[in-house]
Structure 1
Amino acid sequence: MKRIIARLGALLSAALLLVGALPPAARADTPMMTPDSLTILFTHDTHDHFLPSPAEGGGEYGGYTRLATLLKQERAAAAADTAYGANGRAVVTLDGGDFSMGSLFQTVYATEAPELRALGAMGYDVTTLGNHEFDYRASGLADMLNAAAASGEVLPALVQANYQPPQTDQRSWDAWENYGVTDYVVLERPGFRGKEQDVLRVAVFGVLGVDADECAPMSGMEFTPIAEAARRVVAEIQEQAAADYIICLSHSGTTDGKGEDHELAKAVDGIDVIVSGHTHSTTEEPIRVNDTLIVSCGEYTQNLGVLTIGRSGSDGAVTCEEYRLVPVDETVPDDPEMAAMAARFKKEVDTSYLAGYGLSFDQVLAQSPFDFTPIGQFAQTQEEDPLGSLIADSYIYAVQQAEGEDYVPVDFAVVASGVIRASFAKGDISTSDAFNVSSLGSGGDGTPGYPLVSVWLTGRELKDAFEVDASVTPLMPAAQLYPAGMTWSYNPNRMIFNKVTSCAQVLPDGSVLPLEDDRLYRVVTGLYSGQMLGAVNAKSFGILSITPKDAQGLEIDDYEAHIIHNANGSEVKEWYALASYLQSMGTVDSRYAASEGRKVSAPSWNPVELLKHPNWITLLVLLVALAVIVLVVFLAYRIATRGRRTRYCGKRRGSGYRPYRG
């Protein structure tokens, strides 16, 4: 018996030592290896970036061909992570919209649906619609959805809850139903531990924001406020879907931690994660708003976002267990299958689109001895830029070529920063590179690429356009203008909408002429930018006034009637204007290596410089300021004199003075 007791004691001691060597159990609120952990692989605003692009400062970034490799690696790592269960971590792969419009691959958008087919091939579970999915209008989107469905390939689910066709648009509804577009979907993943069920249920829904709607003026869709739609969908999910997580793919955006998605998270309870697209933002850490995490990973497939979430605490609030932004760069090898898919679509682009222009995908148009401004810096500075100047000059060149002997001189060509989508690095510039710079939209002919339009503005309206550049750009960088044929100077320290201090017309020989307020000037820009000119009145609360007109001075209500065509009757596209101008030079002119003084920032705090040539806005502010100063002085005087009267009366009373009481 003594020996048995001794042996039992030894066994007990060994067991205690073994227990002591084990790690302590994780507390319920510890954000690691929770039973319901979920990894979300996400992107947004990929914009048809099938292939890598030159990176700022050297190297390369992006491309579906490399993104596909990273997705496979992340899924394999999650499956091997058995600390989360026998099946590893649960993984879903999501995209936040604007998967199209940004490269030559978009030219077969409506016929081949390369974007959705590529997302399907890379294993994406769900995506949503961004504003650029409507660049070819509702009919183009319908054709694309039908083409994707007809491919017979694996495709991602498509969710959209607040931006849908009107009931009268039967063609669109038929295409949406053919593809299977829904408000939300529920994904199931095996290996769920900790509850009776053996699956993790993840509900995913999609919305599109106010600004994105305004950026799709020809979509034809009906818009429901995102908070209203989100409340409805979240309530339905909570009532019917028994989801463990609710994720929103929102093409609305965040900027510096604020924005429409920030407001959505404040307004609607029950959303665990918002994948925030549209503003091309990058969140280095998730933004927590109440019980919602907001994440963004940047545009053009620069990064793959990786977010692992779980539950903790007595209320089961969502927690961030891991968050990474994985660079998609030259260190990542191409995925062979995705590279083969890209090659097939390149051939289709050559045959069906570029052959009509006598060009090919990789054809070298020109050689640049220098780097142009990287596109990432456009939103960071308010100044003239050589790339913008090159594009504006190309518009004039293209109109001259198209009109030939009938050419009517272009007084002002202009491109807005918001439509410039890429830049040029030192070295060869190909057809693909040129297209990427001006890749947006479609024309009245339904073919890819915004065309050039010709409108007329008075000299007074041109001055207001310059004021938009000077005053609105700090608030809305996409509104910055790059000119040809005009020059202006501005003082950024002056009153808003009164910052421009001088302007003039620049003639082809370099001489300058003052603008005449009532004279009509010919203006050439892209179709989208032309349409936005008319929006200046509302955006400036009527302070600025720009009304595009025809050559007779009559207001334009149909911009497509003013598209510029060449001798063959084809629309002159923005991208082809740039491509043909580059091709005409062979080697990019050295004058585009630096600014030329087309617009000049002249900051000054000199009172004379701040107040000379005031408009009614400055005068009104000065009058208000003067009134405030007069009021303050008056109040100060009253207080001071009241004090003196009180002291005087006190002295009189103290000396025996008695008031007369008659």
Structure 2
Amino acid sequence: MVSGFPPAKRAENPPQERALLLPPAHHYSLHPTIGDQIMMKRVLLIGLIALAIVAAALGSLWLSSGSVTVSVIHTNDMHGYVEAETVKVGSQSFTMGGMANVVGNIDRWRAANPDHTLVLDAGDIWQGTFISSRSQGEIMIDAMNIAGYTAAVPGNHDFDFGQDVLKARVAQAHFPFLAANIIEEATGRTPPFLKPYLITKVGNIRVGIIGLGYPGTPFITKPSNVAGLQFLSGAEAVNHYLDGVRRQADIVIVLSHMGMDEDEKLASTVAGIDVIVGGHSHIVQTNAKQVGQTIIVQAGSNAQYIGKLDLVYDRLHHKVTSFTRANEVVPVVGTTVNAAVEQMVQKKAAEAAEILTKPIGETLVDLDNCYAGECPLGNLVADAMLAAGQADAHPADVAMHNNSGLRARLARGMITYGNLFQVLPFGNVMTALDLTGEQILAILEKTVSGRPGNLVVSGMTYSFDQTRPAGSRITRVTIRGKPLDRQAVYRVQTIDYLAAGGDGQETFKQGKNVVYGDPVVDVVAEYIRQHSPVQPRIEGRILPR
């Protein structure tokens, strides 16, 4: 055994064994005196104390040498999907997803291991549906409070309503929000409404949980939403806190909204993490991954899946010896429903139904959203923006919307406001500004620097060649049918997210004569009403070479 103390020295001449000197025997009479009675009581009391000490020691040894199962229930990227979806299979049907079913599953699993269960969420909680957005996420936090969550991490979309709303949701929650890699620019410290980590006990097992937000958040949200904040790399933050957390915890969990790729990199480069509970990439990781000694899990998105990772912790050797490998993530189906959450959701759904279910028009074709390049849905949205006439006195020459802001598809047939809100859930507003041809060219160069085009457009076309050097990939641009004039000034209709430099499009911030208009979702809804039935198609507006 290695010890920090110096070895004991052996005596050169050990002392001879000595006879024990015992006190003289005490003679008891058949009729003990009062003194004898007191002595007997003292002996009995000392014996009972000794037995209690031995029992406590044996109990402590048993507690420290056995194994215990810690259940980590986890969700991520629920995006405000409070309502369940009815799924039909032949003549049978069942409900899937929705917060009443999520919380019902949590209730059932916690009941099976009540003293050793954690419930964690890896971010992007409330933004994405009309019902949740209408209350700016209050209903989601109410449901999570009922479920008894242990901790959550703020995802990038949890900043979409601004820091004041995030602070309000954190204050509403009965659990902390963790983000070790989000700091204040002014102080270099974690903002007061967040915590870098949490040490909690489940039974007699100490669990340390370090939170990580998405490092790229400043590039994909409005700058005002993250003003004054700095987002560090996950590895930098974990390395800063890990040793201290490790000393206080038996099990260390990183609660991450960085995405699966970054979680795997973290696991491979930073030793000492037992589990990474992840989010952001919406992966249904049915079977738990293991990278080195770190277990990685992620449970899909939109409250349709939930994970339950059982960790067997060996208290004698102080380590996790086994864990749930297969079917760690399962669909959220309506076998067990939390009645309180269901009642709350039904009330909010009834209030929203009058708006959401109102038909606004019809599409004659399926309209899929597109990750990059041109698609009919993108053309529909951009055309609606250009036709809205909200560019002030000078009509807009061009409309631009980012592909990544189109979040759902529209199926052929009737379109309701609720359907359209799922396509455009962010609450962005129309924003018109003046840009020179040179600035428009810089914006287009940026949009083809990664994916093959991340701007759907109306009133213009552009061609590009991604094999060419950066800065020279745009090969041709037309506006209103004429070649782009680099010196000319054009009126551009876009959204406030891009106008503020979102998606890394800093050139938009150079725009002049800025005018704000209506929410984009309402503008597109009105366009569909006026032009129904719609049948947009690909027209060659964006041409890769």
TM-score category of the 2 structures, normalised to the smaller one: 0.7 to 0.9
Question: Structure 1 pair 601/228, CA: closer, same or farther in 2 (3 Å)?
Answer: closer
Alignment map for 1:483-562 (pairs within 5 Å): 483-506=457-480, 512-532=481-501, 535-536=504-505, 548-551=510-513, 562=514
Alignment map for 1:127-142 (pairs within 5 Å): 127-142=152-167
Structure 2 CA distance, aligned partners of 1:438 and 1:214?
19
Match of residue 374, structure 2, among 364, 375, 384: 384
Say whether 1:212 aligns with 2:217.
yes
Alignment map for 1:646-657 (pairs within 5 Å): none
Q: Shift of the alpha carbon at 1:464?
A: 3.5
Structure 2 CA distance, aligned partners of 1:318 and 1:292?
12
2:448 partner SS: helix
* Contact 2:462–2:476 (Cα < 8 Å) also in 1: yes
Deviations 1:491-542 (A, max 9, x none): 4555555444333124xxxxx22221211111111111222369447xxxxx
1:140 partner SS: helix
1:310 partner SS: strand
* Contact 1:292–1:318 (Cα < 8 Å) also in 2: no
Q: Shift of the alpha carbon at 1:360?
A: 1.9
Name the structure 1 match of 2:40.
none
Structure 2 CA distance, aligned partners of 1:588 and 1:38?
55
* Contact 1:63–1:301 (Cα < 8 Å) also in 2: yes
Structure 2 CA distance, aligned partners of 1:205 and 1:348?
38
Name the structure 1 match of 2:441.
463
Match of residue 138, structure 2, among 84, 101, 113: 113
Name the structure 2 match of 1:92.
118
Name the structure 2 match of 1:158.
177
Q: Shift of the alpha carbon at 1:96?
A: 0.4
Work out the percentage of aligned pairs sharing the same amino acid. Answer: 25
Name the structure 2 match of 1:371.
366
* Comparing 491-500 and 285-294, the one that deviates more: 491-500
Structure 2 CA distance, aligned partners of 1:108 and 1:536?
28
Question: Structure 1 pair 223/462, CA: closer, same or farther in 2 (3 Å)?
Answer: closer
Alignment map for 1:224-373 (pairs within 5 Å): 224-239=232-247, 241=248, 243-254=249-260, 258-259=261-262, 261-310=263-312, 316=319, 319-324=322-327, 325-328=329-332, 335-346=338-349, 360-373=355-368
Q: Shift of the alpha carbon at 1:485?
A: 0.9
* Comparing 311-320 and 413-422, the one that deviates more: 311-320
Report the structure, 1 or 2, having the larger strand content.
2
Alignment map for 1:633-652 (pairs within 5 Å): none
Say whether 1:564 aligns with 2:516.
yes
Q: Shift of the alpha carbon at 1:387?
A: 1.2
Say whether 1:430 aligns with 2:432.
no
Say whether 1:185 aligns with 2:198.
yes
* Contact 1:272–1:318 (Cα < 8 Å) also in 2: no
Q: Shift of the alpha carbon at 1:158?
A: 2.6
Question: Structure 1 pair 186/168, CA: closer, same or farther in 2 (3 Å)?
Answer: closer
Structure 1 CA distance, aligned partners of 2:463 and 2:122?
40
2:486 partner SS: coil
Structure 1 CA distance, aligned partners of 2:463 and 2:104?
49
1:66 partner SS: helix
Q: Shift of the alpha carbon at 1:550?
A: 1.2
* Contact 2:447–2:455 (Cα < 8 Å) also in 1: yes
Q: TM-score, normalised by structure 1?
A: 0.63
* Contact 1:534–1:547 (Cα < 8 Å) also in 2: no
Deviations 1:112-164 (A, max 9, x none): 72221121223422212122222222222233334x26xxxxx3333233325
Name the structure 2 match of 1:660.
none
Name the structure 2 match of 1:418.
404
Question: Structure 1 pair 272/51, CA: closer, same or farther in 2 (3 Å)?
Answer: same
Q: Shift of the alpha carbon at 1:483?
A: 0.9
Say whether 1:104 aligns with 2:130.
yes
* Contact 2:105–2:337 (Cα < 8 Å) also in 1: no
Name the structure 2 match of 1:480.
454
* Contact 1:47–1:99 (Cα < 8 Å) also in 2: yes
Question: Structure 1 pair 288/383, CA: closer, same or farther in 2 (3 Å)?
Answer: same
* Contact 2:461–2:540 (Cα < 8 Å) also in 1: yes
Match of residue 206, structure 2, among 201, 204, 207: 201
Residue type of the partner of 1:245? I
Structure 1 CA distance, aligned partners of 2:445 and 2:218?
25
Question: Structure 1 pair 129/534, CA: closer, same or farther in 2 (3 Å)?
Answer: closer
Q: Shift of the alpha carbon at 1:335?
A: 5.0
Q: Structure 1, unaligned stretches of length 5 or more?
A: 1-33, 80-86, 150-154, 191-198, 351-358, 441-448, 507-511, 538-544, 552-561, 566-571, 603-662
Name the structure 1 match of 2:527.
581
- The Cα RMSD (Å) is 3.6
* Contact 1:109–1:115 (Cα < 8 Å) also in 2: no
Residue type of the partner of 2:361? A
Question: Structure 1 pair 120/387, CA: closer, same or farther in 2 (3 Å)?
Answer: same
Name the structure 1 match of 2:81.
49
Question: Structure 1 pair 271/213, CA: closer, same or farther in 2 (3 Å)?
Answer: farther
Question: Structure 1 pair 407/336, CA: closer, same or farther in 2 (3 Å)?
Answer: farther
Q: Structure 2, unaligned stretches of length 5 or more?
A: 1-65
Question: Structure 1 pair 533/41, CA: closer, same or farther in 2 (3 Å)?
Answer: closer
Question: Structure 1 pair 458/234, CA: closer, same or farther in 2 (3 Å)?
Answer: same
Question: Structure 1 pair 35/582, CA: closer, same or farther in 2 (3 Å)?
Answer: farther
Question: Structure 1 pair 458/333, CA: closer, same or farther in 2 (3 Å)?
Answer: farther
* Contact 2:216–2:231 (Cα < 8 Å) also in 1: no
Count of matched residue pairs: 470
* Contact 2:220–2:502 (Cα < 8 Å) also in 1: no
1:274 partner SS: strand
1:269 partner SS: coil
